């Protein structure tokens, strides 16, 4: 079973995303911010990370920078989710190592295609 690590501080959206991913057969591990995840990251080996950008305590960019410095996590694909539509924000996420960037509100089908494609690509390499 493929595991997705989901960082999302909005409870309703987090629960919706968990339902979407679980229906597709993924195991989902959740956290509300980067600080929370760093406390248990060594116990989880996700195949993919979906992270909100704007979160309390540690935003998605800082979390992304930290995991990309971790040799065990540096090749884990990351999709950033945010309501911020500024290109500069998107570029920042890509610069820090995100593989893709989706703005909220998002199309569920598009998100699932991107998740499945990234997992396939990174399983091969």
Domain architecture of the chain: domains with CATH:
3-124 (3.40.50.2300)
Tokens read off for 101: 């960037």
Task: Report pLDDT for 7.
Answer: 96
Tokens read off for 119: 């997992």
**Can you give the pTM of this predicted structure?**
0.93
For the chain, 125 residues long, give each residue's pLDDT as a single digit of tens.
899 999 999 999 999 999 999 999 999 999 998 898 888 887 888 999 999 999 999 999 999 999 999 888 889 999 999 888 778 888 888 899 999 999 999 999 999 999 999 999 988 54
38: how many CB neighbours lie within 10 A of its CB? 15
Q: Are 18 and 28 in contact (CB under 8 A)?
A: yes
Task: Report pLDDT for 80.
Answer: 95
Task: Report pLDDT for 124.
Answer: 58
Tokens read off for 120: 């396939």
Element (H, E) at 16: helix 11-23
Please compute, for residue 33, the number of CA atoms within 13 A of its CA located in the half-sphere on the CB side: 8
Measure the CA–CA gap between 114 and 74, rounded to whole angstroms. 19
Of 43, 53, 50, nearest to 18 by C-alpha is: 50
């Amino acid at each position: 079973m493929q595991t997705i690590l989901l960082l999302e501080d909005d409870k309703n959206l987090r629960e919706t995303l968990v339902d979407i991913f679980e229906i597709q057969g993924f195991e989902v591990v959740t956290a509300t911010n980067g600080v929370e995840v760093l406390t248990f990251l060594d116990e989880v080996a996700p195949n993919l990370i979906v992270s909100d950008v704007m979160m309390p305590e540690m935003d998605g960019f800082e979390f992304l920078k930290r995991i990309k410095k971790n040799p065990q996590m540096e090749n884990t694909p990351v999709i950033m989710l945010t309501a911020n539509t500024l290109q500069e924000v998107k570029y920042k996420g890509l610069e820090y190592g995100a593989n893709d960037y989706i703005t909220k509100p998002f199309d569920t089908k598009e998100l699932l295609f991107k998740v499945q494609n990234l997992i396939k690509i990174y399983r091969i390499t």
